[in-house]
Amino acid sequence: MSDTGTATARAGGVGGWVRGQLRNIAPFATLLFLVIFFSFASESFFTVVNFANILNQVSITAIIAVGLTFVILCAEIDLSVAAIANVTGIVVAFFTLQESYVNIANLPLPGLVAVLIALLICFALGMVTAFGVTFIGIPSFIMTLAMMQIADGMSALFVRGQIAYAVPDIVLTLGSGSIFGVPWIVIVAGLFLLVAHLVLTYTRFGRYVYMVGGNREAAEYSGVNVKFIIGAVLVIGAVCSGVAGMLGVAYFGSAQQNEFTTYLLDAIAAVVVGGTSLFGGRGGIPNTIVGLFVLGVLNNGLDHVQIDPFLKILIRGLILLAALVINVYAQRLRSQAENAGD
């Protein structure tokens, strides 16, 4: 009974440390490997201009991934992020005056009002998900799958197969403008990551998120309002997606159906590849940042080398699989160490 765990940890030495930190080391090693590989494979990859490109390309994913990091830290999942991004982007365009050739029955409102309505929509959708998961008890996997359909359906009804182009000025600036040569969208993404990191690390709410993810029953026995925390992370996930959706519409220059589909997989991949545990309680924004870069470098680098474009998708799938294997494996090593400690 006496302190066997401490003894094991000490005896583990460097090997033990590596095993315990595998979750954090593996993504970083992957990133390093990819950067070195593409630098040798292509002359145009390792340049300042291309680095700026990568930042620009991952920004929308980053904003979605911020919300997902909260959700996954709580050991839940949100499959509706891309659909909510889509519908929020469409809503903000729907309430903006479109050019006469755009065949959408839109209701022009002042820009800020349109933005507020769009934010309200994604907040409300997040609340519905939160209600379904916490009060009705639907597993988040299924609940957000339904929400994905609902949000997609709303998108379809708003645009009816058409494409809208105009968005409020503030959205246009933040989504596609620059200041001193730095794209606003990169700044926004950076701010989201920074604020999320501060919330998760330095606030009571952030602590509860980790504790609920780490051991939900223990959190409940400690008098934490578990349902509130889970509901809150789902709402945060939806609102982050909504913001990404609005800026995305400006970034792409159009609002239409299915324009965010690939972002669901990218955002989940970024969080998980970065090393945040799918079982909750471990990981965080720094992990997500590394994951975003792994994905960004991979997507960008594959464009710089001569490669069958159809093979790209397969390669991305394989990288994601490898990350999942490491994620689950790291969890197992940790729980083995724990059992030894008992």
Partner 1 sequence: MTESSDTPLLEMIDISKSFGGVQALRGVDFSLRAGEIHGLVGENGAGKSTLMKIIAGVHHDFQGTMKLDGKPVRFRSARDALDAGVGMVHQELSIVPDLTVAENVFLGTQPKTRLGTIDWRRMVRESREHLAGLGIHVDPTTIIGELPIGLQQLIELARVLFSGARIIILDEPTSALSPPEVELLFTTLRRLRDSGRSMVFISHFLDDILSISDTVTIFRNGQKVITSPVAEIDKRQVIEQMIGIGHRELEESYTGEITLDTQFDAPVIMETRGLSHERTFQDVSMQVRAGEVLGIYGFMGCGQIELARALFGKIRAQGVLTLDGKPIKLTRTSIARQEGIAYVPESRRSMLFHHEPLYKNMSISILERISRMLLKPSSEREIARGHIDNLRIRTPGPDQLLGNLSGGNQQKVALAKWLTHAPKVLILSEPTRGMDVGAKEDVVRIVRGLRDKGIAVIVVSTEPETVLSLADRILVMKKGEIVREFAGDTVSKDRLLEAA
Q: Does 13 bind partner 1 (CB under 8 A)?
A: no
16 binding partner 1? (CB under 8 A):
no
Query: What gap in Å lies between CA 121 and CA 143, rounded to an integer?
Result: 17
At CB < 8 A and 24+ separation, what contacts does 45-50 make?
Answer: 45/300, 45/301, 45/304, 50/300, 50/304
Question: Does residue 336 interact with partner 1 by CB under 8 A?
Answer: no
Candidate list 214, 254, 262, 278; residue touching partner 1; CB under 8 A: 214
Judged by CB, which is closer to partner 1: 103, or 222?
Answer: 222
In contact, 38 and 46? CB cutoff 8 Å? yes
Site for partner 1 contains 215 (CB under 8 A): yes
Exactly one of 248, 281, 286, 301 binds partner 1 (CB under 8 A); which one? 281
Q: Which of 22, 232, 237, 282 binds partner 1 (CB under 8 A)?
A: 282
Instruction: Please give the backbone phi and psi of residue 179, each rounded to the nearest 5 degrees, phi first.
Output: -135, 125
* Reduced 3-state DSSP string for 16-65: HHHHHHHHHHHHHHHHHHHHHHHHHHCCCCCCHHHHHHHHHHHHHHHHHH
Q: Which is nearer to partner 1, 282 or 316 (CB)?
A: 282
For 234, how many CA atoms within 13 A lie in the half-sphere containing its CB?
A: 29
Query: Is there binding between residue 25 and partner 1 (CB under 8 A)?
Result: no
CA distance 323 to 261: 21
Cα-flanking dihedrals φ and ψ of residue 255, to 5°?
-120, 120
Does 9 interact with partner 1 (rule: CB under 8 A)? yes
Residue type at 155 in one-letter notation: S
222 is a site residue for partner 1 (CB under 8 A): yes
Judged by CB under 8 A, which stretch of 42-50, 177-185, 210-218, 242-250 contacts partner 1? 210-218
Residues 225-244 that bind partner 1 (CB under 8 A): 225, 227-228
Q: Given the complex with partner 1, which of 183 and 275 has the nearer CB atom?
A: 275
Q: Does 217 bind partner 1 (CB under 8 A)?
A: yes
List of residues contacting partner 1 (CB under 8 A): 1-6, 9, 202-204, 206-208, 210-211, 214-215, 217-225, 227-228, 281-282, 334, 337-338, 341-342
